[in-house]
A and B are shown apart, each in its own frame.
Chain A
């Protein structure tokens, strides 16, 4: 009797878990399917290579937004990877430092900051003085990217066993050398996957770009000019009254989704520890 009751409970829990999974999976699959169905038709060669046509006119592409996103992501990484890496090294490799708790608190606070605040911050700091630009956009995105990366990089460094550090030190190697040549090297796959996942996260951010990168119907010729970006373009096109723009927004969503999926797959299969 006791056994039967337990088995019943066990089965009930299993069924409950499966149901929960289905409830979560259905909307996800629905989003992917809808994006595929609505977006696939837009993905012509012209879509990737041409600039947008004036409002109401059919055709054209989103090449400017693709260029913009590439510029923004590259600039953001250029700014935030070194900053985050040095911070993470400081947090993980200098345990005697007093500032550690304060930096962690600030970092966690930043991580919970709404992304629009990052945009406003960049706006007041840079845009009011120098105007809309890719650089201001990248700065806003960096405000989001740095805390995420500090967290993952610190975790990655902490996964390196103490033994490995001590082995390095016991060979008479200087502390900073042990960190750069042994600890970082050991943690590199995990650090790289943290960077890639951050790229995936920020490449879809819209709010911080609204009043920093601003958008640009043409190609940008420098980082001090406004640039378009895929999420910005999706935002503008999706709320427009033109059916052709709606289709393009779906197409751009699909492109972003495929890019993020690709990054996740690379992280999962190429960078995991053997």
Chain B
């Protein structure tokens, strides 16, 4: 394995349903450590469902069903406590969703606090460190006690990234993290994603082809619940093997 990126997550024969509707059909792919993998495709193609399977959020819906295998570092996530899975696989959502009643500080610290960390100094350090990694520290360091919801949309999203970082995950899932943001805030988030891959394995769901091209190392193209094509982003974008992929990339379908 030396010299090669190792597989962080391996997905085998993954099928997922909402009631009778099959949202994912026999997905097979591997996500390499410390890379950015983009899950690309139009609305309703199953890309959000896919990442929600990875951190076992999908199964919280009462009509959800799931089959197949997801391995994190070779261990099946379905044999792990979901709480443990989610500590290792963090998530940032489509809409910035800081906890409305909490300060900026508490939004970042809450994951650790509720998991029993009491040491104020350790919390201070993690909050500062996480906000710095999320490129938000300089903007909020003087108002850590203000409500998280007092920030702008782009800042709130970076706060959510800091919140996800604070619990020290190994993988971070991003579900269309810029689709609710203005273009300038979106660029900041994209830059941040690229910075993050040094320390984390990143999976980003997007329907934005340019965004996938700008940030990702690998791209998986989903269409109606199926994985159409998966490979290095440069290769897939320049030389798509499947006609469907090419049609989507050139804007003929979508």
Q: Does A173 lie within 8 Å of B114, measured CB to CB?
A: yes
Residue picked from B57, B87, B97, most chain A C-beta under 10 Å: B97
User: Is residue A96 within 8 Å, beta carbon to beta carbon, of the partner chain?
Assistant: yes
- How many chain B residues touch A (CB < 8 A): the figure is 27
Majority-rule SS of A interface residues: helix
Contact with B along A160-192 (1 / 0, CB 8 A): 010110111111111001000110011010000
Check A171 against B111 for contact (C-beta < 8 Å). yes
Say yes or no: B114 contacts A163, CB within 8 Å: no
Q: Which residues of A contact B60 (CB under 8 A)?
A: 166, 169
Select which of B86, B93, B101, B102 is within 8 A of A172 by beta carbon. Answer: B86
Which of B14-22, B23-31, B160-168, B219-227 forms part of the interface with chain A?
B160-168
> Nearest residue in B to A161 (C-beta to C-beta)?
B97
Asked whether A182 lies within 8 Å of B95 as measured between CB atoms, the reply is no
- A98 CB → nearest B CB, Å: 11
Q: Are the CB atoms of B99 and A186 closer together than 8 Å?
A: yes
Instruction: Report B-chain residues with C-beta under 8 Å of the C-beta of A173.
Output: 83, 110-111, 114-115
A163 touches B100 (CB 8 A): no
Interchain nearest-CB distance for B77 vs A (Å): 13
Chain B min CB distance to A96 (Å): 5
- A residues near B154, Cβ cutoff 8 Å: none
For window 88-106 of B, CB contacts with A under 8 Å fall at: 88, 90-91, 93, 95, 97, 99-102
Which of B84, B85, B99, B101 makes the CB contact (< 8 A) with A167?
B99
Residues of B within 8 A of A95 (CB): 62
> Given A170-B57, A173-B83, is A164 in contact with B97 using a C-beta cutoff of 8 Å?
yes
**A118 CA to B163 CA in the complex, in Å?**
49
State whether B101 touches A163 (Cβ < 8 A).
no
Q: Which of A150-165 contact B (CB under 8 A)?
A: 161, 163-164
* Docked complex Cα distance between A184 and B88 (Å): 26
Report chain B residues within 8 Å CB of A164: 97, 99-100
Chain B positions within 8 Å of A186 at CB level: 99-101
Chain B residues with CB under 8 Å of A185's CB are: 99, 101-102
Whether the pair B100, A169 counts as a contact (CB closer than 8 A) is: no
Q: With A171-B110, A182-B110, A186-B101 in contact, do A163 and B95 touch (Cβ < 8 Å)?
A: yes
Q: Which of B147-165 contact A (CB under 8 A)?
A: 160, 163-164
A171 pairs with B163, CB closer than 8 A? yes
- Expressed in whole angstroms, the Cα–Cα distance for A245 and B230 within the complex equals 87
Report the count of interface residues on A (CB-CB < 8 A).
Answer: 20
CA of A188 to CA of B102, assembled, Å: 13
Report Cα–Cα, A170/B99, bound state, in Å.
13
Interface flag for B55 (CB, 8 Å)? yes
- Give the Cβ gap from A192 to chain B, nearest Cβ, in Å: 12
Closest to A172 in B: B87
Chain B residue nearest in CB terms to A183: B99
The CA-CA distance from A186 to B160 in the complex, in Å, is 17
Chain A's nearest CB lies how many Å from the CB of B101?
Answer: 5
Are B86 and A171 closer than 8 Å at their CB atoms? yes
- Residues in A with CB closer than 8 Å to B86 are 169-172
Contact residues in A for B55 (Cβ distance below 8 Å): 170
Q: How far is the CA of A163 from the CA of B87 in the complex (A)?
A: 17
- Report how far A168 CA is from B97 CA in the complex, Å: 10
Contact A171 B167 (CB under 8 A): yes
Q: Hey, which chain B residues are within 8 Å of A171, CB to CB? A: 86-87, 90, 110-111, 114, 163-164, 167
The 5 closest A-B pairs by CB, nearest first: A172-B87, A171-B111, A170-B91, A172-B86, A163-B97
Binding site for A on B (CB under 8 A): 55, 57, 60, 62, 83-88, 90-91, 93, 95, 97, 99-102, 110-111, 114-115, 160, 163-164, 167
Q: B-contacting residues of A (Cβ < 8 Å)?
A: 95-96, 161, 163-164, 166-174, 177, 181-182, 185-186, 188
Q: Please list 22 pairs of residues, one from A and one from B, whose beta carbons are closer than 8 Å in the complex, sorted by A's number.
A: A161-B97, A163-B97, A164-B99, A164-B100, A167-B91, A167-B97, A167-B99, A167-B160, A168-B99, A170-B55, A171-B86, A171-B87, A171-B90, A171-B111, A172-B85, A172-B87, A173-B110, A173-B111, A182-B99, A182-B110, A185-B102, A186-B99
A163-B95, A173-B111, A181-B114 provided; 9 other pairs, C-beta below 8 A?
A163-B97, A164-B99, A167-B99, A170-B91, A171-B114, A172-B86, A172-B115, A181-B110, A186-B101
